[in-house]
Amino acid sequence: MNRRDFIIKSGLSSSIFSIVPSSVLGFNGVSPNNKIQIGFIGAGRQGRGLMKNFTEYNECQIIAISDVDSQKVDFFSEEFENKILKDNEKKVYIKKFEFYREMLQSTSVDAVVIATPDHWHAQMSVDSAKYGKDIYCEKPLSSTILEGRAMVNSARKYKVVYQTGSMQRSWKHFRHAVELIQNGYIGEIKEVNVAIGDPHKQCDLPSLKAPDHLNWNEWIGPVTYRGYHPDLACLLEDKRWGQWRNYKPFGGGMITDFGAHMFDIVQWALEMDNSGPKLFVPPKKNATLGLSYYYDNEVKVNHIKWGKGNNEIQFIGSEGKLEVSRRYLRTSPDKSLKDLIIPKNATKRVYQSDNHHLDWLNSIKNRTRPICDVEIGHRTASVCNICNIAYDLQRDLEWDAKKEIFVGDESANLLIDRPYRGNWNYKEF
């Protein structure tokens, strides 16, 4: 398809430059003032936290915010302006949008940060790629297998830099753990135990009247419609994390929420960033723990409680154990970290990033792939989503990671995608 046909068929002909990245216009991936102009999609708790981080970087400036909750948009803008004022005498304003697609049409926006509920990630990512915007999207990357593949394909087609928000890859002690494992410090890996919490569940919340400041139909967006409940879209004064993450089709439970962190480290350590497991074996009863999956090298990964809490990983090797979480890195037989220094001439070293956001910004400037590129995020999300499918079906599933289909199980293959409603179709890229 030539450029003129693309513009006509995609319905973006109102502004030819709205779909062309800054780099094509001669800005080398950033705006003429040499700062990456960022628009935020999502003004909730996570979005506001990311905003406060991105205001610290000289490489970028935030110029726009979009959310279907006008109350949260106003609060995001207020927090942003107050934070900027601490360091600048001149008041700085941010452009507000209710609909993210209107923001994407702005030629001033070079890149977007997507911090919405998971069920919106695919559509927003594909739309952003169409407009030539580089993308930082929160984890888990996608809610289905086919969504994730479409996100990868659109990012590659439009040559955008895409960072998945699995920021543990930019934490030093997770990187240290991965390098220890890949260099054989505990021998050959035999088994891995991962504690991350429960799978998704059906949404049984009652339907209530949505507040006037929230466009509920747009919050639901591409998935099957259901009525409003404040647990799904927590109000501004509610200090909880959004409970949507527990319910399908909005989230995938802790299997996807923290699995996107912990299964991601397993994928990284086992050098499976472009692949995945071959077999998923769930409990043959209604259960929320006990699933195992296997890689081609016969490494077994168990979704179980094994330590004192959640969100921790135990690697079991032929010569010892390595355990890692956000709080610790330890080995057995017990060794101090001084004894576990990776020599500079070690056989294997991994991508080094000490700041997930700066890594993305630098990748935009250099037009290179960041530490958690969209393909990596897709492969980890696939592991998480297949775990949920296996728990739902309560039967073994053989997975072809190359073709990204279940082998000999047509009913399971129906679950690698989901129906989209209305005017949304992430597949059109």
130 within 8 A of 400, measured Cβ to Cβ: no
Q: Which residues of 50-73 are buried (b: 16+ CB within 10 A; e: fewer)?
A: bbeebbebebbbbbbbbbbbbbbb
* φ and ψ at residue 381, rounded to 5 degrees: -60, -35
Tens place of pLDDT for every residue, the chain, 429 residues?
Answer: 333 333 233 333 322 223 334 433 333 344 546 899 999 999 999 999 999 999 999 999 999 999 999 999 999 999 998 887 666 656 678 999 999 999 999 999 999 999 999 999 999 999 999 999 999 999 999 999 999 999 999 999 999 999 999 999 999 999 999 999 999 999 999 999 999 999 999 999 999 999 999 999 999 999 999 999 999 999 999 989 999 999 999 999 999 999 999 999 999 999 999 999 999 999 999 999 999 999 999 999 999 999 888 899 999 999 999 999 999 999 988 776 667 777 777 889 999 999 999 999 999 999 999 999 999 999 999 999 999 999 999 999 999 999 999 999 999 999 999 989 877 777 666
What is the rounded CA–CA span in Å between residue 138 and residue 39?
14
259-269 helix and 172-182 helix, angle to the nearest 10 degrees:
40
Q: Which amino acid type is present at position 391?
A: Y
Query: What's the pLDDT at 428?
Result: 64
Domains of the chain: 3-168 (3.40.50.720), 171-350+374-429 (3.30.360.10)
| Average confidence score pLDDT of the chain | 90
- pLDDT tens-digit series, residues 301-317: 999 999 888 899 999 99
Task: State how far the alpha carbon of 288 is from the alpha carbons of 62, 254, 285, 394, in Å.
Answer: 41, 10, 9, 11
- Partner residues linked to 242 by β-bridges: none
- The pTM of the full predicted model, rounded to 2 decimals, is 0.90
Q: DSSP H helical segments within 131-170, as ranges?
A: 145-157
Closest by CA to 119, choosing from 203, 196, 37, is 203
What is the rounded CA–CA span in Å between residue 22 and residue 33?
12
